[in-house]
């Protein structure tokens, strides 16, 4: 063989450079494709990192082992052997006393390195700004604002904590591990240093202490620890990870992730259409060159290798440039979002960039391979006899392979085979069936309108090459499907989230409201809050017997339920089922009942092994009361609202001493009014749960902004694809127009032909996209997002939009046709 | 007497068409020696291009045998025939077949680069100068006239220093005067490099200048 692969490679480089003009379309299609999908990739990755790091700030660590028992030696040495860093806190309930008042508070003893993630924020006075600058030192105690209020303290005063005195130096305004506190969730919080712990003498045999071990480490070490510590756990302990930290946060995060995945799927889909079109175009233009090179003595393999190398070269260049652009675009996006996001966001990884470059190249070769292989079959005789063109016999097999490759790619991208298959098979099947139908329609139209010369010429052009027409139709429809799906989902998902988390979702709890204060408190609260939950009565009660068996004997040793029944449960009664609660079995208040009917939360029911009809005895202020399980219900603990394990039917507990509880929304500008409320009702505890909410809302804001920015990319990609598609038909159009014009037609007539052709193509694609969007969105809502589906009447605008869009892009893409003079065209040699 | 470079013995070609075998060529025998020239004439559709393709190894005959540069073409597979073409054969076509995406110079450089011969640029420039196009080096084919394009094609054909050159109606698309100029060029280069010429032509002038002529009618030598 006279031509080595080295020569081929050098030649490929030279040829690509020389033929740069011929590669423009392919180059830009791939560039836009990789740029948009890598922007999505980078952005999604960093957003995910930002969100998880926010979520772990929530927990104060990556993993927490907590419970009423101290950690064992084994648990600690396991953590150390895995290289985790850690700290721990000790929590207990005790009285805080000032000169004037005494209040029961939840005390958390910490060390200087607490928290491992997130931050402690404190204020020097109520009006002062929050800062993270200070660390808690021994001898000091930081109290929540409400404690300063109720103890009538000012910063700097001394507080009695158990057996010792500490200086209440600062107001604690933010503490990360607030959510899901181990005990006394309704008690206000104070932080002390662990060096002062023994002096308080609160930690003694028999006192109830809650230990929390916080661990930090890389993801693999954390998940290893989670697995290996499980068998070492004491019954009083449990493990919390990010997922448990805040279910609503993670629901939001998952939905956002799903949406971003979908957007990147759309980008990849669009990319492949664009690349497929321009790769086919590339191959078609190489027909003559292939035959010529074979005449020069290159073998079939060498000819193919030359083209492949060229493709690889141009592809690699375009793809890496695209990835760089994607990286820059992602940077810009985050710059725009700077106000919303934490100061420091982990950088996107190189592998994400390489991944999108790889995917770009994979798609390029998947779709360039069939037409290129067909080029290999060009007989060298083609140069002497034009009609000796090859027939791409095995194209279908290779397209099937390409489709498989695309499926794998999309699956890899979305990590969700269901979503991918749904989108792909659903889209393809409906698109194909409808494509055939629309083609039939066009043919019928053609027949009807064939007496009209301009229609015959314009539609005839479409229908001369039925396969090309169908594939173009499908390509355009796919683009419109993708774009309208993205818009559709953006609106509906956001609306759905907004509904789940309205702007004025409660952000405070009020409890310990005395019955005689309730009416007055409610009236004053209504003036400052736009959203107050129902008020629930709350009475303490201890569970003593189940079906007549004392609870101690009823429960197996070391049962996880022990903790629950050791202390008083908060009991309530109500006629209406609270929001976010759902009856799983039984009846919400049977009409007739001998014993007091109760409703039990499903997880507690499982832990206590309670079923419908079981008899449960409570000790209520020394009096036994026998009740019967009437129903079991699930509770959405994510909502900021009063939630109860056990609810009584009305009419049984009213005589007991009780207080009232409610949650409400107050915007951050109304601290003064809140302060006044607190002053007027000093016994009432107001708890701010602001942190949960603001985090959720800022994440929602981030996500919607991201989605809007990504839409632009999808639009650009779609536009590029349209242009690429029209580019492939350009030379045959130039030929037709040259012929028509040499026969004496006017330029405007040719333009009218184009308008008619593109408009019908666009309208037909629009109809197709309309139907396909409804079908796909139905499937997505039903099975992927699980939200209710309704028809979208505005989609009927798609055919019009399609006609306008494709006409616009088409006229832009073919302006050269009408401008080129026929003389110029005759000058073309072949 | 020089050695024969191209020998055809009872060559025939038929293609299947609608279930029947359509005979395009029948019983063609000829011999061409190194440095000689052969003209193939005949009416349109008589099988000239088909024969040229067979002789150059672009296709295989249905019967008979062809010896090109001492290789039995019918015994070689497509890749082996490609190697023979790479080593010995050059082409000039009626429709020029220049690559539109390359400049005149780059078109001429292509076969030189494929053969890994040194100084591709200098060689190609030299050849273009030889065909009188030294001022059009960086022009693209669409910017050249038909005659200029064909001269580039001839420069390209000679660039790989073939021992035998096949030309299918090299002057077919050119006017009389330009055709003469191209003919002159072919024979000049033929003389200088000792290249064997095999031409298909309708042009009696061109045919007359060849040492040998065969005339085809309905696939047979008259
Ligand atoms: N692959 C093929 N299939 C069917 N018919 C063929 C094939 N190849 C050649 N022919 C036929 O064989 C005949 C000879 O073709 P060829 O191209 O060799 O003619 P030609 O002498 O070069 O004509 P022209 O002067 O017009 O170029 C023609 O009738 C052509 O239709
Ligand atoms: Mg011919």
- pLDDT per residue as tens digits for the range A118-136: 778 888 887 778 788 888 8
Q: Which tens digits make up the pLDDT trace of A266-318?
A: 666 666 667 776 777 777 778 778 888 888 888 888 888 888 888 888 889 99
Q: Which residue has the higher pLDDT, A276 or B74?
A: B74
Q: Which residue has the higher pLDDT, A51 or A189?
A: A189
Residues A232 and A282 in one domain: no
Which among A16, A25, A7 is positioned nearest to A728, based on CA atoms?
A25
> How many domains, chain A?
3
CB contact B102 to A (< 8 Å) = yes
Q: Would residue A9 count as lying in a domain?
A: yes
Q: Which tens digits make up the pLDDT trace of A533-559?
A: 889 998 888 888 899 888 888 887 767
Question: Which pLDDT band holds residue A166 (cuts at 50, 70, 90)?
Answer: very high
Task: Indicate the residue among A218, A246, A274 that finishes a domain.
Answer: A246
Test the A interface: residue of B22, B114, B140, B141 with most A CBs within 10 Å: B114
Q: Would residue A108 count as lying in a domain?
A: yes
> Is B46 near ligand 1, meaning CB less than 6 Å away?
yes
What pLDDT is attached to residue A1?
A: 44
- Domain with A425, as residue range(s), is 5-53+250-500+696-829
pLDDT of B53 > 50? The answer is yes
**Residue A6 CB partners (closer than 8 Å, separation 6+):** none
Residues A350 and A463 in one domain: yes
Residues A528 and A649 in one domain: yes
Q: Please give the Cα distance from A473 to A722 (Å, whole number).
A: 11
Q: Would residue A686 count as lying in a domain?
A: no
Least confident segment among A98-102, A336-340, A566-570: A336-340
Question: Which pLDDT band holds residue A741 (cuts at 50, 70, 90)?
Answer: low
Q: Taking residues A481-505, report their average pLDDT.
A: 70
Q: Would residue A751 count as lying in a domain?
A: yes
Q: Please give the Cα distance from A544 to A565 (Å, whole number).
A: 8
Tokens of A570: 């908060």
What pLDDT is attached to residue B32?
A: 94
Please answer yes or no on whether A297 and B97 come within 8 Å at the CB atom: no
Q: Please state at what angle helix A466-500 crosses helix A798-813, rounded to 10 degrees.
A: 130
pLDDT of A183 > 50? The answer is no
Which among B89, B105, B80, B63 is positioned nearest to B160, based on CA atoms?
B89
Residue A602, number of CB atoms within 10 A of its CB: 16
Least confident segment among A469-473, A786-790, B28-32, B208-212: A469-473
Tokens of A770: 């309309």
Residue nearest to atom 30 of ligand 1 (CA): B45
Please answer yes or no on whether A380 and B116 come within 8 Å at the CB atom: no
Which among A99, A118, A96 is positioned nearest to A107, based on CA atoms?
A96
Residues A9 and A98 in one domain: no
Task: Indicate the residue among A194, A214, A246 that finishes a domain.
Answer: A246
Q: Taking residues A555-581, report their average pLDDT.
A: 80
> Is B37 near ligand 1, meaning CB less than 6 Å away?
no
Question: Which pLDDT band holds residue A830 (cuts at 50, 70, 90)?
Answer: very low
Which residue in B has a C-alpha nearest to residue A10's C-alpha? B113
Winning range, highest mean pLDDT, from A47-56, A406-415, A435-444, A568-577: A568-577
Residue nearest to atom 27 of ligand 1 (CA): B44
Given the cut 0.85, state whether the ipTM is greater than it.
no
Q: Please give the Cα distance from A258 to A250 (Å, whole number).
A: 12
pLDDT of A181 > 50? The answer is no
Q: Please give the Cα distance from B7 to B74 (Å, whole number).
A: 12
Q: Please give the Cα distance from A701 to A689 (Å, whole number).
A: 19
Q: Return the H-helix or E-strand segment holding B165.
A: strand B164-168
Beta partners for A179? none
Question: Which pLDDT band holds residue B57 (cuts at 50, 70, 90)?
Answer: confident
Please answer yes or no on whether B142 and A827 come within 8 Å at the CB atom: yes
Q: Please give the Cα distance from A340 to A701 (Å, whole number).
A: 8
What sections of A71-218 are H helices per DSSP? 73-81, 145-151, 197-200
- Residue pair A257/A48 in contact by the 8 Å Cβ criterion: yes
What pLDDT is attached to residue A826?
A: 47
Topology of the domain comprising B35-59+77-221: Rossmann fold (3.40.50)
- Residue pair A326/A267 in contact by the 8 Å Cβ criterion: no
CB contact A19 to B (< 8 Å) = yes
Which residue in A has a C-alpha nearest to residue B162's C-alpha? A296
Please answer yes or no on whether B103 and A18 come within 8 Å at the CB atom: yes
Q: Which tens digits make up the pLDDT trace of A616-664?
A: 999 888 888 999 999 999 887 666 678 888 999 998 888 888 889 888 8
What pLDDT is attached to residue B33?
A: 93
Give percent of chain A with pLDDT exceeding 70. 71
Closest chain A C-alpha to B205 CA, distance in angstroms: 23
Residues A533 and A647 in one domain: yes
Residues A254 and A239 in one domain: no
Ligand 1 nearest atom to the CA of residue B51, by list position: 18
Beta partners for A546? A549, A616
Please answer yes or no on whether B79 and A299 come within 8 Å at the CB atom: yes
Q: Which residue has the higher pLDDT, B12 or A420?
A: B12
Instruction: Name residue, tokens 């992602």.
Output: A330
Question: Which pLDDT band holds residue A715 (cuts at 50, 70, 90)?
Answer: low
> Is B35 near ligand 1, meaning CB less than 6 Å away?
no
What pLDDT is attached to residue A350?
A: 84
Least confident segment among A347-351, A523-527, A715-719: A715-719
- Residue pair A472/A435 in contact by the 8 Å Cβ criterion: no
Q: What is the CA radius of gyration of chain A?
A: 35
Q: Please give the Cα distance from A249 to B210 (Å, whole number).
A: 89
Residues A43 and A87 in one domain: no
Ligand 1 nearest atom to the CA of residue B50, by list position: 18
pLDDT of A243 > 80? The answer is no
Q: Which residue has the higher pLDDT, A768 or B195?
A: B195
- Residue pair A569/A617 in contact by the 8 Å Cβ criterion: no
pLDDT of A30 > 90? The answer is no
Residues A318 and A438 in one domain: yes
Winning range, highest mean pLDDT, from A57-61, A421-425, A496-500: A57-61
* Residue A138 CA to ligand 2 centre (angstroms): 102
Question: Which pLDDT band holds residue A179 (cuts at 50, 70, 90)?
Answer: very low
List Cα–Cα distances, A533 to A62, A510, A580, in angstroms.
Answer: 33, 10, 12
Q: Please give the Cα distance from A682 to A249 (Å, whole number).
A: 33
Please answer yes or no on whether B82 and A829 come within 8 Å at the CB atom: no
Q: Which residues of B touch A287 (CB under 8 A)?
A: none
CB contact A22 to B (< 8 Å) = yes
- Residue pair A65/A237 in contact by the 8 Å Cβ criterion: yes
Residues A236 and A264 in one domain: no
Q: Taking residues A362-391, report their average pLDDT.
A: 71
> Is B24 near ligand 1, meaning CB less than 6 Å away?
yes
Please answer yes or no on whether A294 and B82 come within 8 Å at the CB atom: yes
Q: Which residue has the higher pLDDT, A481 or B210?
A: B210
Ion ligand 2: protein residues whose beta carbon lies under 5 Å: B 49
What pLDDT is attached to residue A235?
A: 76
CB contact B100 to A (< 8 Å) = yes
Residues A37 and A75 in one domain: no
What pLDDT is attached to residue B174?
A: 78
List Cα–Cα distances, A211 to A16, A151, A244, A441, B143, in angstroms.
Answer: 68, 27, 18, 73, 85
pLDDT of A138 > 50? The answer is yes
What pLDDT is attached to residue A599?
A: 93
Its pTM stands at: 0.61
Residues A545 and A466 in one domain: no
Which among A629, A277, A628, A307 is positioned nearest to A475, based on CA atoms?
A277
Say if strands A536-546 and B164-168 run parallel, antiparallel, or are unpaired.
unpaired
Which among A444, A453, A447 is positioned nearest to A750, based on CA atoms?
A453
What pLDDT is attached to residue A699?
A: 60
Q: Please give the Cα distance from A268 to A37 (Å, whole number).
A: 6
What three-state secondary structure class fits A760?
Answer: helix
Which among A543, A552, A538 is positioned nearest to A616, based on CA atoms?
A543
Which residue in A has a C-alpha nearest to residue B170's C-alpha? A384
Long-range contacts of A739-743 (CB under 8 A, 24+ apart): A740/A457, A741/A822, A742/A822, A742/A826
**Residue A536 CB partners (closer than 8 Å, separation 6+):** A572, A574, A578, A642, A644, A660, A661, A662
What pLDDT is attached to residue A184?
A: 47
pLDDT of A99 > 90? The answer is no
Tokens of A216: 């930090």
Give percent of chain A with pLDDT exceeding 90. 8
Instruction: Name residue, tokens 């005449």.
Output: A295
Q: Would residue A684 count as lying in a domain?
A: no
Say if strands A140-144 and A189-193 run parallel, antiparallel, or are unpaired.
antiparallel
Question: Please, what sign has the CA dihedral across residues B157, B159, B160, B164?
Answer: positive
Instruction: State the average pLDDT for chain A.
Output: 77
Q: Which residue has the higher pLDDT, A243 or A134?
A: A134
Please answer yes or no on whether A829 and B142 come within 8 Å at the CB atom: yes
Test the A interface: residue of B78, B91, B101 with most A CBs within 10 Å: B101
Q: Would residue A11 count as lying in a domain?
A: yes
Q: Taking residues B174-194, report their average pLDDT.
A: 84
CB contact B106 to A (< 8 Å) = yes
What phi and psi values does residue A9 have, to the nearest 5 degrees? -65, -45
- Residue pair A140/A111 in contact by the 8 Å Cβ criterion: no
Instruction: State the average pLDDT for chain B.
Output: 88
> Is B21 near ligand 1, meaning CB less than 6 Å away?
no
**Residue A223 CB partners (closer than 8 Å, separation 6+):** none
What pLDDT is attached to residue A616?
A: 92
What pLDDT is attached to residue A829?
A: 38
Q: Please give the Cα distance from A142 to A119 (Å, whole number).
A: 14
Q: Where are the domains of chain B?
A: 35-59+77-221
> Is B108 near ligand 1, meaning CB less than 6 Å away?
no
Cβ-in-10-Å burial (0-12, 13-18, 19+) of A655 comes to: exposed
pLDDT of A823 > 70? The answer is no
What phi and psi values does residue A235 have, to the nearest 5 degrees? -60, -25
Winning range, highest mean pLDDT, from A19-33, A393-407, B167-181: B167-181
- Residue pair A724/A278 in contact by the 8 Å Cβ criterion: yes
DSSP collapsed to 3 states, A706-757: HHHHHHHHHHHHHHHHHHHHHHHCHHHHHHHHHHHHHCCCCHHHHHHHHHHH
Which residue in B has a C-alpha nearest to residue A21's C-alpha? B101
* Residue B45 CA to ligand 1 centre (angstroms): 5
Q: Please give the Cα distance from A541 to A623 (Å, whole number).
A: 10
Which residue in B has a C-alpha nearest to residue A19's C-alpha? B101
Task: Indicate the residue among A246, A281, A296 that finishes a domain.
Answer: A246
Q: Which tens digits make up the pLDDT trace of A226-239?
A: 889 888 888 778 88
Residue nearest to atom 25 of ligand 1 (CA): B44
Q: Taking residues A315-337, report their average pLDDT.
A: 85
Least confident segment among A478-487, A534-543, A693-702: A693-702
Please answer yes or no on whether B93 and A4 come within 8 Å at the CB atom: no
List Cα–Cα distances, A447 to A40, A434, A450, in angstroms.
Answer: 46, 20, 5
Residues A25 and A115 in one domain: no
Say if strands A164-174 and A237-241 run parallel, antiparallel, or are unpaired.
unpaired
Counted across chains A and B, CB pairs separated by less than 8 A come out at 105
């Amino acid at each position: 063989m006279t031509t080595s692969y080295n020569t081929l490679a050098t030649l490929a480089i030279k040829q690509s450079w020389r033929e740069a003009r011929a590669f423009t379309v392919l180059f830009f299609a791939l560039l836009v494709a990789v740029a948009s999908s890598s922007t999505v990739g980078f952005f999604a990755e960093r957003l995910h990192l930002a969100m998880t790091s926010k979520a772990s700030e929530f927990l104060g660590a990556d993993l927490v082992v907590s419970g009423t028992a101290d950690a064992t030696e084994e648990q600690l040495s396991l953590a150390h052997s895995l290289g985790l860093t850690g700290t721990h806190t000790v929590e207990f309930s005790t009285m805080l006393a000032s000169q004037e008042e005494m209040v029961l508070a939840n005390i958390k003893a910490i060390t200087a390195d607490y928290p491992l993630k997130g931050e402690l924020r404190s204020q020097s006075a109520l009006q002062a700004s929050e800062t993270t600058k200070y660390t808690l030192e021994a001898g000091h105690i930081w109290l929540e604002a409400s404690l300063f209020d109720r103890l009538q303290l000012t910063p700097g005063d001394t507080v009695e904590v158990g057996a010792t005195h500490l200086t209440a130096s600062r107001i604690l305004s933010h503490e990360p591990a607030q959510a899901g506190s181990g005990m006394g969730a309704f008690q206000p919080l104070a932080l002390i240093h662990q060096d002062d712990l023994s002096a308080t003498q609160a930690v003694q045999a028999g006192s109830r202490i809650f230990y929390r071990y916080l661990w930090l480490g890389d993801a693999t070490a954390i998940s290893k620890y989670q697995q290996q510590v499980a068998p070492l756990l004491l019954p009083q302990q449990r493990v919390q990870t990010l997922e448990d930290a805040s279910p609503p946060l993670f629901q939001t995060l998952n939905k956002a992730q799903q949406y971003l995945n979908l957007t990147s799927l759309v980008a990849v889909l669009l990319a492949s259409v664009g690349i497929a079109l321009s790769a086919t175009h590339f191959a078609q233009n190489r027909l003559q060159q292939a035959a010529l090179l074979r005449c020069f003595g290159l073998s079939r393999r060498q000819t193919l290798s030359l083209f492949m190398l060229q493709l690889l070269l141009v592809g690699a260049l375009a793809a890496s440039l695209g990835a760089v652009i994607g990286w820059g675009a992602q940077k810009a996006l985050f710059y725009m979002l700077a106000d919303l996001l934490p100061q420091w966001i982990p950088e996107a990884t190189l592998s994400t960039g390489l991944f999108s470059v790889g995917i770009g190249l994979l798609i390029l070769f998947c779709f360039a391979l069939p037409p290129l292989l067909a080029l290999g079959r060009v007989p060298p005789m083609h140069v002497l006899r034009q009609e000796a063109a090859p027939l791409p016999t095995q194209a279908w097999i290779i397209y099937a392979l390409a489709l498989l490759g695309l499926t794998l790619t999309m699956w890899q991208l979305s990590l969700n085979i269901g979503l991918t298959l749904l989108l792909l098979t659903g889209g393809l099947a409906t698109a194909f069936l409808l494509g055939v139908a629309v083609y039939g329609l066009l043919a019928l139209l053609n027949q009807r309108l064939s007496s009209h010369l301009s229609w015959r010429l314009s539609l005839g052009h479409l229908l001369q090459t039925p396969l090309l027409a169908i594939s173009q139709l499908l390509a355009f429809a796919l683009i419109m499907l993708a774009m309208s799906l993205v818009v559709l989902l953006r609106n509906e998902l956001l609306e759905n989230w907004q509904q789940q988390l309205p702007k004025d979702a409660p952000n405070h709890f009020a409890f310990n409201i005395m019955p005689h204060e309730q009416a007055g408190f409610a009236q004053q609260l209504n003036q400052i809050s736009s959203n107050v939950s129902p008020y629930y009565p709350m009475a303490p009660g201890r569970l003593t017997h189940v079906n007549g068996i004392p609870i101690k004997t009823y429960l197996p040793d070391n049962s996880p339920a022990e903790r629950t029944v050791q202390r008083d449960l908060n009991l309530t009664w109500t006629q209406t089922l609270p929001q976010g609660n759902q009856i799983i079995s039984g009846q919400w208040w049977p009409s007739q009942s001998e014993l007091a009917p109760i409703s039990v939360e499903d997880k507690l029911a499982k832990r206590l092994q309670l079923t419908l009809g079981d008899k449960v005895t409570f000790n209520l202020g020394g009096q036994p009361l026998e009740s019967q399980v009437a129903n079991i219900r699930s509770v959405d603990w994510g909502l900021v609202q009063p939630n109860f394990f056990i609810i009584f039917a009305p009419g049984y507990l009213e005589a007991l001493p009780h207080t009232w509880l409610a949650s409400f929304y107050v915007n951050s500008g109304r601290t003064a009014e809140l302060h006044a409320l607190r002053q007027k009702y000093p016994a009432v505890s107001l708890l701010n749960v602001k942190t949960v909410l603001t985090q959720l809302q800022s994440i929602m804001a981030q996500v919607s902004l991201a989605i809007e920015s990504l839409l632009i990319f999808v639009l650009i990609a779609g536009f590029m694809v349209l242009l690429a598609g029209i580019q492939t038909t350009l030379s045959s159009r130039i030929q037709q127009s040259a012929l028509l014009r040499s026969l004496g037609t006017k330029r405007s007539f040719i333009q009218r032909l184009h308008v008619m052709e593109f408009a019908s193509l666009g309208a037909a694609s629009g109809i197709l996209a309309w139907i396909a969007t409804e079908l796909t969105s139905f499937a997505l809502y039903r099975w992927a997002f699980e939200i209710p589906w309704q028809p979208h009447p505005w989609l009927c605008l798609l055919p019009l939009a399609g006609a306008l869009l494709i006409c616009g892009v088409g006229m832009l893409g073919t302006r050269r046709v009408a401008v080129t003079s026929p003389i110029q065209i005759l000058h073309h040699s072949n | 007497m020089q050695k024969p470079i191209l020998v055809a013995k009872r060559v025939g070609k038929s293609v299947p068409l609608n279930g029947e075998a359509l005979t395009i060529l029948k019983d063609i025998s000829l011999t061409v020696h190194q440095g000689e020239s052969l003209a193939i004439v005949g009416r349109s559709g008589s099988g000239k291009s088909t024969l040229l393709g067979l002789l150059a190894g672009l296709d295989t005959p249905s019967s008979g045998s062809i010896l090109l540069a001492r290789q039995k073409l019918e015994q070689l597979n497509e890749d082996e025939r490609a190697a023979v073409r790479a080593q010995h054969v050059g082409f000039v076509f009626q429709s020029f077949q220049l690559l539109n995406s390359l400049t005149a110079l780059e078109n001429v450089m292509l076969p030189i680069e494929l053969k890994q011969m040194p100084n591709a640029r200098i060689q190609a420039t030299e050849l273009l100068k030889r065909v009188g196009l030294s001022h059009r080096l960086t022009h693209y084919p669409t910017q050249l006239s038909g005659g200029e394009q064909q001269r580039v094609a001839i420069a390209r054909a000679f660039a790989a220093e073939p021992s035998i050159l096949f030309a299918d109606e090299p002057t077919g698309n050119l006017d009389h005067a330009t055709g003469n100029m191209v003919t002159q060029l072919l024979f000049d280069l033929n003389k200088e490099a000792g290249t064997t010429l095999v031409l298909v032509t309708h042009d009696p002038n061109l045919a007359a200048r060849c040492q040998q002529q065969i005339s085809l009618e309905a696939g047979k030598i008259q």
